Amino acid sequence: MKPQVKIVNCETGEEIIRDATAAEIAQMETDAANYAAEQAEAEAKAQAKAAAEGKLAALGLTTDDLRALGL
Amino acid sequence: MAKQSFVTGQVLTAQQVNDLQTNDFNQTVSAKTASYTLVAADKGTRITMSSTSATTITVNTGLFAAGDTLFIQNLNTGVCSITAGTATVDTSASLALAQHEGGTLYFTSAGVSTFFKAAGAAASSGGMTVITSGSLSTTSVSISGFSGYNSLLLEINNPVVDVSSQMAFRFNNNSGGVYSQAGMSPLTNTILNGGPTSTARAGFATYNLSTTADNTSVFISVNDYDSTVYKNINMGTANGSDAIFGNVRFNDTTAITSIQITTSGGTSNFTGGTYVLYGVK
């Protein structure tokens, strides 16, 4: 099913729901790709942080220890 | 009471005469609580709408004749919009009636009418008027036709989507990198990104949307939205787990004539939530 958009004209009171145009669908796909990339980047950062914390723990250190060193 | 037809020689009853007099001194009221399409029997009567949600009163052709009138008024908080079905409805005002607004619908032919909005609820300087309100649905909601105010305030309440995504706003459906934004999340002690957004972002004030209701509330205020200089926007959002406030600059000198509320996940749809657009004089 095609994505749809809702159009509200306050001046006339008209409200319609129509299929998205090709240009709108293209923009939605761009938005979706951008959103997925952001989600992947956030996930990668979280994993990298967890891995780094694991290495610190293996050395008997915590993030508080690093802060105490001004790092 | 619908218009009566009498024939030559007919003897009128007291009831008939009293009914006619009653309609003169206490106009027949047809009370509605949901969207309604006018019928021929509505001629000369008063249609009242009482709903907390947005409703419409649709006007179709072929039901009325030149010179026919009826009065329409909105009693409740949901905006009631007079909508041209198969007939034409002209007006010099807005066809969207806020609470306590109303007016006369006058037909110049079977298919052409004019709505004469009665004075009464026009906001004075500094006053705020509900321009429109409704439910979020589909992938994107585009609102236009809100000229004549000094500033706008848009509220979004409890948005829900069918697939986790983000909500973004655009002006004039501009998907270019024309939105500079900066914000802060006090709860997570986070400074959010500033500077122009990328073309891919194509919007501003992106907030995570959930597939379940979480009482998210968003506001956006736009001052001098119809000016031809850069526009400054204040915004904020809060839900059960976060609160963000910030500012956006719309780096475009075009007057803002439409606002888009989008799910930037691209393939997701709003399945819940409401919007209210206020105009401030």
Q: How does pLDDT run across A32-63, given as a tens digit for each residue?
A: 787 778 778 878 988 999 999 999 999 998 88
B200 interface with A at CB cutoff 8 Å: yes
The residues, ordered by sequence, that sit 6+ positions from A33 with a Cβ below 8 Å of its Cβ are B200, B266
List the single residue in A20, A34, A35 with the smallest CB-CB distance to B139: A20
Spell out a b/e string for B104-115, using b for 16 or more CB atoms within 10 Å of the CB, else e. Answer: ebbbeeebbbeb
B175 contacts A15? CB cut-off 8 A: no
Q: What is the least distance, in Å, from the CA of B93 to any CA of chain A?
A: 8
Q: What is the least distance, in Å, from the CA of A49 to any CA of chain B?
A: 17
Tell me what percent of the residues of chain B surpass a pLDDT of 70. Answer: 87
A31 contacts B145? CB cut-off 8 A: no
Report chain A residues whose CB lies below 8 A from the CB of B74.
Answer: none
The residues, ordered by sequence, that sit 6+ positions from B85 with a Cβ below 8 Å of its Cβ are B37, B58, B59, B60, B61
Q: How does pLDDT run across A3-43, given as a tens digit for each residue?
A: 899 999 888 778 899 998 988 888 888 877 877 787 788 78
**3 state SS of B124:** coil
Looking at every residue in chain B, the average pLDDT score rounds to 84
Q: How does pLDDT run across B18-27, given as a tens digit for each residue?
A: 887 777 777 7
DSSP-H helix ranges across A1-71: 22-58, 63-68
List the single residue in A13, A27, A33 with the smallest CB-CB distance to B83: A13
Q: What is the least distance, in Å, from the CA of A57 to any CA of chain B?
A: 24
A3 interface with B at CB cutoff 8 Å: yes
Query: Residue B164 pLDDT more than 90?
Result: no
Q: How does pLDDT run across B82-117, given as a tens digit for each residue?
A: 999 999 998 877 788 888 889 999 999 999 999 998
- Alpha-carbon span B60 to B110, nearest angstrom: 9
Bridge partners of residue B89, in order along the sequence = B113
Bridge partners of residue B128, in order along the sequence = B280
Question: Which domains, from first to last, does chain B contain?
Answer: 14-117 (2.60.120), 128-280 (2.60.120)
